[in-house]
């Protein structure tokens, strides 16, 4: 893992603190949102060598939630920082059982709104960059357990599109994102088998937001 990745979570908290201070001073439009999300698949190789699993072989779809804080720096442009959590249920591949995988994303990003208005429907596009935390994963075969991945922080990024509906201070939104995540840290015990590739997911998000 590149140690510089730890800078990204720090940027998230700096951005959130700045947005809160600006909102309390009444100097810029500030909002906070809460959302649920579902990811039906993870695409990529979850191991290496003959017979190694893909992510979809090792894990089922993931469910989770996210919290974001954002503010508009221009009528059509917003900056944001957020955190999301996802849980992927472990599956079985060739009689090898995988533990559940927990994923935490910390990110900063931006939105471009196609309409310069506060109320009503407004489509947008967005892009984020940040750090992703993979929990450790163990496997078992015929009652014998072993480490598979170590917990680690890696690089992530996503692009997406969505639409929001706002009435006064309350809003609802729906979006779909294509997310890239760097490979998790493989266990030294099974290095040749557990050495995974980077992965792609497609989270579907629905949430509510409050504008101060």
Spell out the residues 6+ positions from residue 124 whose beta carbon is closer than 8 angstroms to its own: 111, 112, 113, 114, 161, 162, 163, 164
Residues spanned by the domain of 41: 3-211
**pLDDT per residue as tens digits for the range 106-165:** 999 999 999 988 889 999 999 999 999 999 999 998 888 888 999 999 999 999 999 999
Residues 79 and 84: their CA atoms lie apart, in Å, by: 17
Q: Rounded to 5 degrees, what angle do the CA atoms 124, 22, 110 make?
A: 25
Cα 151 → chain centroid = 16
Domain count for the chain, please give it.
Answer: 1
> Rg of the Cα trace of the chain?
19
What mean pLDDT comes out for the span 97-112? 95
Instruction: Give this prediction's pTM.
Output: 0.85
| Residue 196 contacts residue 186 (beta carbons within 8 Å) | yes
Q: Return the SS3 of 111.
A: strand
The count of other CB atoms within 10 Å of the CB of residue 196 is 25
* Residue 43 reports pLDDT greater than 60: yes
10-19 pLDDT tens trace: 666 666 666 5
pLDDT > 70? residue 183: yes
Rounded to whole angstroms, how far apart are CA atoms 201 and 44?
9
pLDDT at 101: 96
Query: Which regions of the chain does DSSP assign to beta strands (E)?
Result: 30-39, 42-43, 59-74, 77-90, 92-93, 96-98, 101-113, 120-134, 137-141, 144-150, 152-167, 170-181, 185-186, 199-201, 204-211
The CATH number assigned to the domain holding 184 equals 2.40.160.20
């Amino acid at each position: 893992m590149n140690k510089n990745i730890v800078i990204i979570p720090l940027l998230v908290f700096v951005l959130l603190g700045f947005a809160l201070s600006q909102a309390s001073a009444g100097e810029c439009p500030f909002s906070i949102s809460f959302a649920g999300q579902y990811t039906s698949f993870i695409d990529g190789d979850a191991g290496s060598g003959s017979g190694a699993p893909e992510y979809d072989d090792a894990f089922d779809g993931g469910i989770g939630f996210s919290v974001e804080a954002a503010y508009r720096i221009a009528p059509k442009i917003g900056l944001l920082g957020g955190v999301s959590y996802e849980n992927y249920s472990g599956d079985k591949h060739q009689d090898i059982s995988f533990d559940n995988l927990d994923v935490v994303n910390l990110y900063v990003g931006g939105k471009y709104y196609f309409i310069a208005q506060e109320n009503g429907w407004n489509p947008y596009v967005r892009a984020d960059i940040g750090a992703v935390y993979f929990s450790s994963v163990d496997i078992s075969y015929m009652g014998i357990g072993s480490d598979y991945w170590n917990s680690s922080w890696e690089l992530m990024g996503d692009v997406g599109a969505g639409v929001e509906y706002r009435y006064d201070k309350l809003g609802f939104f729906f979006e779909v994102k294509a997310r890239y995540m760097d490979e998790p840290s493989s266990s030294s015990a099974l290095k040749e088998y557990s050495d995974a590739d980077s992965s792609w997911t497609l989270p579907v998000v629905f949430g509510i937001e409050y504008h101060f």
